[in-house]
Structure 1
Amino acid sequence: MSDVSSARSVNTAAEGAEDPDLALARGGDGGAFTRLVEPLRRELHAHCYRMLGSAHDADDALQDALLRAWRGLARFEGRGSLRSWLYTVATRTCLDSVEARGRRALPVDLGPSSDRAVVGDAPLVDVAWLGPYADAGLGDGPLAPDARYEQREAVELAFVAALHHLPGNQRAALLLFEVLGFSAAEIATMMDTSTTSVNSALARARRIVAEKVPSRTQQRTLREVGDTRVREIVAGFSTALERGDADAMVALLTEDVTWSMPPLASWYHGLEAVADFAMRVPLTGCGSWRHLPTSANGQPAVSCYLWNDDAGAYLAWSINVLTLRGERIAEITSFLGPDHFTPFGLPASLP
């Protein structure tokens, strides 16, 4: 059963007071509560990621939200669906986190690009960086009939990055309406505000997102390019890195390509700058690489492992998310750090 159909079956069951698991959960049965929420866990986690821009923060927020829901289950009277009530709890939990932590950023948000390779760039530890999202459990279609975005479109890097230019209330309203298909009146109840305020927040949010998100989504591009060709592009990128082949790398890129590497502040725009960085740093300056293909944010991605003499192995280094325009790579976002690998189910090292 798909996530969507599972969620709908849960909603239908939860609307009636006779639902046995709901009655048991209200009576303190933790197993019954787990059975109620498990079909919705993946989509709730994706919602928390969109709100917070970090898979680790989404883990914490979802755990907190489900704990709040468990403790407050007696307040759920069954007038609406269990799904909408859980989204209310999750959204309010995320809004508390947004208020405490602020928004997340990518290097392109912080300053101009560099014309030449910056060697020895130090990570910025005082910036809350946007992180990648392991999307293996997401479906392909919308979560609700009225939703504008597909599930995978709604975790694409450009969309999530654009969301983090919005205040928390606008971010929540846009996600609840456009991605999850709730009505403005339902959202007003969920966010404890008026329908007028929700509509105003939606109008402002749509303007900002429209300015920052390409009209052609990655999902549309990937469908047009086709799975076989996408795999070839990913393999070509990986092989160019492993062989230190600058010409092969450049042949894969658009003229206006960008390459960024959070948590490093420096980023590169245009074929000349990106080629200079690639040649001086990953292709010749880092050492020996190995790679595994993966998928992140609904996009093709490559997990990079760098040889470490002390460990005698290739250690997890970065998740490289590729944004395609046609059959070329228009953006490379390299999320540095082994902590990103665990949510993807990737090994910490390779022999």
Structure 2
Amino acid sequence: MGDRAPDRGDAALMMDLERHRVELTGYCYRMLGSGFEAEDAVQETFVRAWRTFDTGRGPLRPWLFHLATNICLDMLRGPQRRARAMDLTSPATPGAELGPPLPPDRWIHPIPDDRALDPADQAVAKETIRLAFVTALQNLPPRQRAVLILRDVLKWTAAETAALLSTTVTSVNSTLQRARARLPAPVPPAAEVDESLLARYVSAFERYDVETLVALLHEDATMSMPPFTWWLRGRASIRAVLLAADSPCAGARLVPVRANGSPAFAQYADGKPFALDVLDIADGLIKDTTTFLDPGLFPLFGLPMSLPPAFRTEG
């Protein structure tokens, strides 16, 4: 349909809004670090667009991003930023207590790939929605964050970005330079994940085969479990903790999903939602496992709230 500007009240307006939902959700997610908040921001964007858009404003897409940016900036006025456990504490030693959980608004949350990545752009854009990158974005002041996402992720020109933010091209270029300086060096696009690696992971996890699980990890792999700040670094530490546990995941069932451009699994215990595990894979091994202990994420991923429990097997 192109970027035509429908009249307000036109029956086709909702279809035009929906056409931009995935791109807007990805933008708002990178800004906010929460799939739930991103969807709320997009819904509010659509409400405001329905009330305010007219053809005199020009194409619909820039107006939607203008509204979404202002909504996100308003939502980011709070004093705290979302983070991962690695940004909050030093790695725990085996045997350390989990400690008290932090409230949900302190954490980077996952998002399904199909909610935030356009299928045509996934090969390029998935690196910019990984948990580590989204976490790094949260370290930027909100306007720097918006400029960097618009320019480096969505590939808007400096002039387009300046018009959206009601500022100058010089200001946009200066802000982008400062934002880039605060981010870590870009990570090269990851290779396609070896499906046999994921199959071995699922088999070992469901059998609680610690030695096989550990063999699939990088030497300096990390493991965390939001909402706890407790996290581990290193294959040896992870092995020690898994061996000391009383086979808590034996008999669990993993259902594959995609989150943040990465392979992920919904974990069911006794047929009930328990956690969402997001894996970061590099060089054919698992580099990071983030286990979100929040069954409330399951509806966001379109997952059922019950499954028949898996039969426990030996070996």
TM-score, normalised by the number of residues in structure 1? 0.82
User: Structure 1 stretches of 5 or more lacking a match?
Assistant: 1-8, 15-21, 144-148, 308-313
Structure 2 residue identity aligned to 1:266: W
Q: Which moved more, 1:196-205 or 1:255-264?
A: 196-205
When residues 127 and 66 of structure 1 are mapped into structure 2, their CA distance, relative to the original with a 3 A threshold, is: closer
The residue number in structure 2 matching 1:187 is 161
**Aligned with 1:274 (options 227, 238, 241):** 238
The residue number in structure 2 matching 1:110 is 88
When residues 252 and 287 of structure 1 are mapped into structure 2, their CA distance, relative to the original with a 3 A threshold, is: closer
Task: Tell me, yes or no, if structure 1 residue 97 matches structure 2 residue 67.
Answer: no
Task: Tell me, yes or no, if structure 1 residue 129 matches structure 2 residue 107.
Answer: yes
Q: Partner of 2:42: helix, strand, or coil? A: helix
Task: Tell me, yes or no, if structure 1 residue 294 matches structure 2 residue 257.
Answer: yes
Task: Tell me, yes or no, if structure 1 residue 330 matches structure 2 residue 264.
Answer: no
When residues 56 and 324 of structure 1 are mapped into structure 2, their CA distance, relative to the original with a 3 A threshold, is: same
User: Structure 2 stretches of 5 or more lacking a match?
Assistant: 309-315
Separation of aligned partners in 1, 2:306 and 2:191: 32
Separation of aligned partners in 1, 2:244 and 2:61: 51
**Aligned with 1:62 (options 42, 46, 53):** 42
- Counterparts in 2 of 1:153-232, with a 5 A limit? 153-211=127-185, 213=186, 215-217=187-189, 220-222=190-192, 225=193, 229=194, 231-232=195-196
When residues 194 and 239 of structure 1 are mapped into structure 2, their CA distance, relative to the original with a 3 A threshold, is: same
Can you list the C-alpha shifts for 1:306-344, whole angstroms capped at 9, x where unaligned?
12xxxxxx2111111111111100111111111111121
- Counterparts in 2 of 1:14-163, with a 5 A limit? 14=5, 22-23=6-7, 26=8, 28-29=9-10, 31-74=11-54, 76-79=55-58, 81-100=59-78, 102-119=80-97, 121-125=99-103, 128-136=106-114, 138-142=117-121, 150-163=124-137
Residue pair 2:98, 2:229 contacting (<8 A) in 1 also: no
Can you list the C-alpha shifts for 1:132-190, whole angstroms capped at 9, x where unaligned?
110135335549xxxxx922222112211111111100110011111112111221221
Residue pair 1:134, 1:344 contacting (<8 A) in 2 also: yes
Q: Partner of 1:136: helix, strand, or coil? A: helix
Q: Partner of 2:2: helix, strand, or coil? A: helix
Separation of aligned partners in 2, 1:208 and 1:279: 39
Q: Partner of 1:288: helix, strand, or coil? A: coil
Residue pair 1:150, 1:179 contacting (<8 A) in 2 also: no
Residue pair 1:234, 1:301 contacting (<8 A) in 2 also: no
Structure 2 residue identity aligned to 1:158: A
When residues 117 and 342 of structure 1 are mapped into structure 2, their CA distance, relative to the original with a 3 A threshold, is: farther
Can you list the C-alpha shifts for 1:68-105, whole angstroms capped at 9, x where unaligned?
1111113x5243x2111111111111111111364211
Task: Tell me, yes or no, if structure 1 residue 261 matches structure 2 residue 253.
Answer: no
Separation of aligned partners in 2, 1:280 and 1:135: 35
When residues 127 and 69 of structure 1 are mapped into structure 2, their CA distance, relative to the original with a 3 A threshold, is: closer
Separation of aligned partners in 2, 1:326 and 1:125: 34
Can you list the C-alpha shifts for 1:103-149, whole angstroms capped at 9, x where unaligned?
21110110100121445543212752100110135335549xxxxx9
The residue number in structure 1 matching 2:312 is none
Query: Percent same amino acid among aligned pairs?
Result: 38
Structure 2 residue identity aligned to 1:54: S
Can you list the C-alpha shifts for 1:52-71, whole angstroms capped at 9, x where unaligned?
11011011111111111111
When residues 316 and 98 of structure 1 are mapped into structure 2, their CA distance, relative to the original with a 3 A threshold, is: same
- Counterparts in 2 of 1:1-12, with a 5 A limit? 9-11=1-3
CA offset at residue 221 of structure 1? 2.1
